[in-house]
């Protein structure tokens, strides 16, 4: 049912320039930091001296599958999960979620709610 997707080194080869393989430039890993830091990502930097000439971002470290979990929950139960998406902007994410649900089920909510 699912086709296995295994990526070999050769398939990733096109991301790196020839200069880096010859040792003309330096490849430097920046991150990933500890999972509790905000916005964890890994950057594979190609440096020519001090200048960054190429950058390959690698994201997905904080992807926890919230959207998949929310599929199996009622609207009220899923609402608390929107707080956990980003602990610096809990209100924003919850507001957007609530507005979307209100639009979906055509609720007319009074402003003080």
Partner 1 sequence: MNEYLQSVANALKDRHAAGLIEYRDQLSLVISPEDLQPVCLALRDEFSFEMLSAQTAVDYWPQQEPRFHMLYFFYSLAHNIRLGLRVPLNGNAPTLPSIEGIYPNANWHEREIWDMFGIRFEGHSDLRRILMPYDWEGHPLRKDYPLGYEEVQFTFNYDEIDQRKPYAKE
The residue whose two tokens read 């199996």 is: 72
Residues that bind partner 1 (CB under 8 A): 1-7, 11-12, 14-15, 59-60, 63, 65, 67-69, 71-72, 103-104, 106
- Which one, 13 or 38, has the nearer CB to partner 1? 13
HSE-CB at 66 with a 13 A cutoff on CA atoms is: 14
3-state DSSP assignment of residue 23: coil
C-beta of 50: minimal distance to partner 1 in Å?
Answer: 27
C-beta of 40: minimal distance to partner 1 in Å?
Answer: 13
Distance CA 93, CA 85 (A): 8
């Amino acid at each position: 049912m699912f086709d296995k997707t295994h990526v070999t080194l050769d398939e990733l080869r096109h991301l790196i320039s020839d200069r880096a393989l010859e040792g003309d430039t330096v490849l430097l890993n920046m991150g990933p930091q500890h999972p509790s830091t905000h916005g964890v990502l890994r950057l594979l930097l190609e440096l020519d001296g001090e200048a960054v000439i190429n950058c390959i971002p690698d994201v997905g470290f904080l992807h926890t599958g919230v959207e998949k979990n929310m599929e199996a929950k009622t609207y009220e139960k899923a609402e608390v999960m929107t707080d956990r998406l980003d602990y610096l902007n809990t209100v924003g994410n919850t507001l957007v979620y609530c507005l979307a649900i209100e639009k979906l089920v055509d609720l007319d909510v009074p402003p003080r709610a």
